[in-house]
Structure 1
Amino acid sequence: MTTTTSIRSLEPSALWNNFADLNAVPRPSKKEEQVIRFIKEFGQNLGLDTLEDEAGNVIIRKPASSGMENRQTIVLQSHLDMVHQKNADTDFDFLTQGIEMVVEGDWVKAKGTTLGADNGIGVATIMALLQATDVAHPPLEALFTIDEETGMTGALALKGGLLKASIMLNLDTEDDQELTIGCAGGVDVTAIGSYEQVNAEQNSKGYRLSLKGLTGGHSGMDIHLGRGNANKLMNRLLHQAATQYNIQISSIDGGGLRNAIPRESFAELSVAASNSSAFESFIKEHTAVLKTELATTDPKLEVQLQSMEAPEKVLAPEFQATFLRAVYACPNGIYRMTPDMVHLVQTSNNVARVQVKNGNFSVQCLTRSSVDSEKEDLARAIEATFELTGAQVEQKGSYPGWSPRPGATIVKLMSELYHTMFQAAPHVNACHAGLECGIIGANYPDMEMISFGPNIRGAHSPDEQVQISSVQKYWNFLLKTLKSIPEQEKAV
């Protein structure tokens, strides 16, 4: 294991040095002021045409290298924000601290937090190209969008006419064998409401129930892997315990970001002293059941039951029963696989965040689908489920999917280059994650688009890591692609 200093010695050095500089800048979604300023100053210091649009997206233009002036203009696109997740025992402030990186063998990781390779490696790649003096390339437009991870509001606000390019290379795919040519759309579904609190029963024992250590991951790219969802697992325990031991729940706090599979959930509750021993045995027995079920996907699962002072206020019994049933009934994980491509999820839902405390509750979901009508249908089903609890349910932040165009010139070009360079055929496919291509394409319908990138594993979780050798492969592939872009079509 080595430190950040060694990261700057990796190859390609320009890319890794820019990644280290970028990771020193806090850049949470919706709070990108520092990184916007950072990337604007980067472009301006290079003497390049640099502008910020009304949403906060940054565009930097670089003329073609010598002899490439007649080639088609290319947009290189990545997003500036990153997912902020950390382990519960990691002391880290994402708003003030830079990411602490380490090298372990062929991988770069972070110390107990997300790494920001999603999409920082793409940003650093573009920065390296903008400052390069020895790379053959056509005219370039670098597009750095904001808030991709929590709403794609940067892409949604990008106006038509700003970009002149005919081809866009999105650098936000996480497998170096893949050329992505389509993706899912999504919509946020949020249920909120209030409930009556009542006094806890006398002669009760208080407990804090913790469920943690799950693998988590990206709620789109990893949803097919069957990993445990902390909110659903906690609800399973609470629902059965309420049925058998008449527990009284005081609070529930589980999950985090909508696009991350929840890794942790915590609940505070009380149970009649006469039932406490049986309840403790129940938790122990069902912890073993869950560990058996999730041994492959979530080997670090932990369930802990700690005694605490019994809470004074708890959920009214009728609401508690209704709420637990609603969360139980809410779909989570794969809803439907696509019949058109092998092993591709078409529609899914992530029960991302559950909060119940002090008379108010909220449940936040991210529903994804490459078929807009099916996305809307599943969102309505979730809405109906929580309306039965008396909740107000809101759908917002809907964004479209990206329809594949396998016959596009850039797809054929890069497929052939990949085969020539690596003696293997790339996996040309669509993904279940939300990429900005579909949104940007709404205002630039004639622009050809493709997404690719290096191997990134565990995105949206503290296990996130990027493969060093894969970054080298991806960088060389990108340089060859830029050198091979065809000339502009001559006007007739």
Structure 2
Amino acid sequence: MNEAIRKLQPQKVWNKFADLNAVPRPSKKEERVIEFMKDFGKNLGLDTKVDEVGNVIIKKPATKGLEDRTPIVMQSHLDMVHQKNNDTDFDFDSQGIEMYVDGDWVRAKGTTLGADNGLGVATIMAVLESKTIEHPPLEALFTIDEETGMTGAMGLKGGLLNGKILLNLDTEEDDEIGVGCAGGVDVTAKKNYAQMDAADQYDAHVYRITLKGLQGGHSGMDIIKGLGNANKLMNRLLFATRDVMHLASLKGGSLRNAIPRESVAVVVVPKGQENAFKSEIKKISGEIFNEFISLEPDLEIVTDKIEDRPAKVLKQDEQLKFLKAMYAAHNGVFRMSPSIENLVETSNNIAKVTVVDGTMTIECLTRSSVESSKENLATSLQSVFELAGFNVTFAGEYPGWAPKMDSPILKVMRELYVKLNNEEPHVAACHAGLECGILGQNYPQMDMISFGPTIKGAHSPDERASISSTQKYWKFVLETLKNIP
């Protein structure tokens, strides 16, 4: 299956991408891909080291004639988001990604593709391996754990790199040159809740509510689209039926940086309340379908009667507090940038919600390019959850990357883009969390830029990479390397 990928142009890039995607590389489990990358550098005879947190650094001298150019760092992250469809049988810890060609797109069979940021990694590998590509003194930086905390970038110490220009290859539109990004913080609300015996509800019926088929996607780049959030939509169903059911368990979403696509709740409906329960579910489901008919055409809400009776359910007062907190907690765009058109400044993704065995947990990722606005939204969420009796913690905080419109490398790349494509690039900040802001803390004088090929649906099983865009991007990479001042 992946052999078809290896025949695509540019072959140097797609072959390295296929090699990389054969290696399992979930965030926080990057041991195999670190070893893979270390062996790759050493087999090329290049200076290769792994720092104390697991980042891999490979250094390559300049090609002949470019020794006096400004030394550069090419950077991408090794880990990938692991998401799969419910009906896909796949073990991310042991299997390589199964890819196929679909017109102009490369996709994976029922899972994320890993183009984020695997195509960036493959690009750098192709440059390192080549004996003909012209480039200045080069340091390749492969960071770990970008997707679940950016701990690789955070752990990179000053003094390890000599480059003066950083080329981050983690942007997902080929006409965009990135000059800034949002910072973020993980907001987690957790509490133990009082339960009562489900057996107390004589002749009750048990139902499983499944909400699925949402698009999901990147909680930064795609948050502006207003896509359905499975956790918020499920809460509407549960809130509407709060007086005629007892919640036994709930599980929605999986990763903080992915908009949740699915949610499953198990509820106990007392005798005599079945018709009211079904009626409310039907009514609210219809409202949701009407609201999202153009955005979420594959949305499904299925209510099944099941035989397995849960032992415990939430007490009514605990249930009401939880549902009200979920209703009040902000999800989606919080504020648009007043200075950059169509840029989300601040947002929140209610990413993962679990209610099981006496413990409920709500996991959010709050993003903003303005630190004060990020703190404002995080405090708003904290207030809502604490009023409902949750303990709230903040973790994994990372800074944004402030745009520098007078950047020398921006000037060079802007002119090259126009020369190659006969049009102006879109110079912009993004609402995703790039590593540039973090890396800039220990390398404040480094001139930074971000760019990449077009990738759609990142962080979801609909992730796909454009073949023609990758060809366009590769030419841009080669011209940039030749023209570093």
Instruction: Report the Cα offset of residue 246 of structure 1.
Output: 2.3
Q: Which residue of 2 aligns with 1:239?
A: 239
Question: Equivalences for 1:52-63 in 2 at 5 Å?
Answer: 52-63=50-61
Aligned-pair CA distance for 1:347: 0.2
Preserved CA contact (<8 Å) 2:202 2:271: no
> 2:433 is matched with which residue?
434
1:464 Cα deviation after fit: 0.1
CA contact (8 A) 2:73 2:138 kept: yes
Q: Tell me, what secondary structure is at the counterpart of 1:410?
A: helix
Maintained 8 Å contact 2:236/2:284: no
Q: CA deviation at 1:281?
A: 2.7
Q: Counterpart amino acid of 1:185?
A: G
What does the per-residue CA deviation read over 1:457-482, in whole Å, with 9 as the maximum and x for residues that have no partner?
Answer: 00000000000010000000010000
Cα distance between partner residues in 2 of 1:250 and 1:239:
14
- Which amino acid is 1:237 matched to? L
Unmatched runs of 5 consecutive residues or more in structure 1? 487-492
CA RMSD, 1 decimal? 0.7
Partner of 1:449: 448
Cα deviations across residues 316-353 of structure 1 (Å, max 9, x unaligned)? 11110001100110000000001000000000000000
Residue correspondence of structure 1 range 362-377 to structure 2 within 5 A: 362-377=361-376
For residue 490 of structure 1, what is the aligned residue in structure 2? none
Q: May I ask how many residue pairs the two structures share in their alignment?
A: 482
Q: Secondary structure at the match of 1:11?
A: coil
In structure 2, distance between residues paired with 1:209 and 1:302: 10
Q: Distance in 2 between matches of 1:223 and 1:369?
A: 12
Shift, 1:277, TM fit? 2.1
Residues 340-359 of structure 1: matches in 2 within 5 Å? Answer: 340-359=339-358
Q: Which residue of 2 aligns with 1:207?
A: 207
CA shift digits 1:273-312 (9 cap, x unpaired): 2111231232223222211111111110000001013423
2:137 alignment partner in structure 1: 139
Alpha-carbon distance in structure 2 between the residues aligned to 1:109 and 1:430:
27
Q: Runs ≥4 in structure 1, deviation > 6 angstroms?
A: none
SS at match of 2:423: coil
Amino acid paired to 1:477? F
Partner of 1:156: 154
Q: CA deviation at 1:142?
A: 0.1
Equivalent residue letter for 1:15: V
Paired AA for residue 86 in structure 2: A
Deviations 1:435-471 (A, max 9, x none): 0000000111110000000000000000000000100
Identify which of 70, 79, 82 aligns with 1:81: 79
When normalised by structure 1's length, the TM-score is 0.97
In structure 2, the residue matched to 1:474 is: 473
Opposite residue 484 of structure 1, the aligned amino acid is N
In structure 1, C-alpha distance between the alignment counterparts of 2:293 and 2:400, rounded to whole Å? 34
Tell me the residue number matched to 1:396: 395
Rounded Cα–Cα distance in structure 1 between residues aligned with 2:107 and 2:290: 29
Percent identity (aligned): 60
In structure 2, what is the Cα distance between the partners aligned to 1:12 and 1:138? 21
Q: Specify the alignment match of 1:417 in structure 2.
A: 416
Does the CA contact (< 8 Å) of 2:331 and 2:348 recur in 1? yes
Alignment of 1:10-159 (within 5 A): 10-159=8-157
Structure 2, unaligned stretches of length 5 or more?
none
Residue 203 of structure 1 aligns to a residue whose secondary structure is coil
Partners of 1:317 and 1:273 lie apart in 2 by: 16
State the match for 2:275 in structure 1. 277
Cα distance in 1 between the residues matched to 2:291 and 2:390:
32
Q: CA deviation at 1:383?
A: 1.0
What SS does structure 2 have at the residue aligned with 1:263? coil
Q: 1:489 corresponds to which residue?
A: none
Question: Residue 266 of structure 2 corresponds to which residue in structure 1?
Answer: 268
Asked if 1:330 is matched to 2:329, the reply is yes
Amino acid aligned to 1:281 = S
Q: Distance in 2 between matches of 1:5 and 1:62?
A: 29
Q: Distance in 2 between matches of 1:456 and 1:400?
A: 24
d(CA) in 2 for partners of 1:273 and 1:90? Answer: 37
Aligned-partner SS, 2:218: coil
Q: What is the rounded CA distance, in whole Å, between the counterparts of 1:202 and 1:328 in structure 2?
A: 30
Distance in 1, Cα, partners of 2:341 & 2:317: 45
Which range is displaced more, 376-385 or 219-228? 376-385
Q: Following the alignment from structure 1 to structure 2, what is the Cα–Cα distance between the partners of residues 253 and 275? A: 24
Task: Give secondary structure in 1 for the equivalent of 2:84.
Answer: coil
